[in-house]
Amino acid sequence: MAEIILQAEPRAEFGKGAARRVRRAGRVPAVMHSRGDLPVHISLPGHDAFLALRHVNAVLTIELDGDQTLTIAREIQRNPLTDVLEHIDLQIVKVGEKIEAAVPLHIAGEPTTGLAILDSQELQVRAEATHVPEVISISVEGLNDGDTIKIADLTLPEGVEAVDSPDTNLVTITSPRGEEPETPQTEAAEALAED
């Protein structure tokens, strides 16, 4: 992913009124956190931050007073009606540092029989901050009703490891309720009934 640089301004006023003024100016209030240090209160350009945060687990370079700080978004508050950014909590990270992050799961392909159901929408992983995947695809091509895919069955990108147990179920192939799975015997019986 390309480097995303956001120009920050320091923020000295706090509270709902101050946050509204920041948003009216086309910016979004944010806080940068790091272990052991005091949080740094900033504001970011609203439109640029909105575009940057369309990417899951995007690494953002925050430029403040000539200094650049590498961060990743930890909590994003959006207006439920307008989807406008209201506040961003950022975690300061270092190149090479491993972090834990939630990565969305995506089903790829079609099972031979049944439907693929995700048991979880995301997978908690540990990876270098600059190499956290945006999405993990799980192929269900050729699977049949009753098959499952567990964490142990995944091939994760190099340097990425799952946090949860390898036995954790991620995908189940199942028939829709009220339908029997198609089998060669079922198809043969249907063909005879049509004769």
CATH number at residue 169: 2.170.120.20
Rounded Cα distance between 179 and 161, Å, is 38
Nearest to 123 by CA among 76, 171, 89, 90: 171
Tell me which residue range forms the domain holding 85: 4-93
Tell me, yes or no, if the pTM score tops 0.75: no
Helix (H), strand (E) at residue 51: helix 46-52
Spatial distance between the Cα atoms of 66 and 18, rounded to a whole number of angstroms: 25
What backbone torsions phi and psi does residue 51 show, to the nearest 5 degrees?
A: -65, -40
Residues 87 and 106 placed together within one structural domain of the fold: no
**The domain that contains 30 carries what CATH number?**
2.40.240.10
pLDDT digits (tens, 9 = 90+) for 15-58: 788 888 888 899 999 999 987 778 899 999 999 999 999 888 88
| pLDDT beneath 50, residues of the chain | 1, 181, 189
**Residue 188 counted as domain residue:** no
- Is residue 161 within 8 Å of residue 128, measured between CB atoms? no
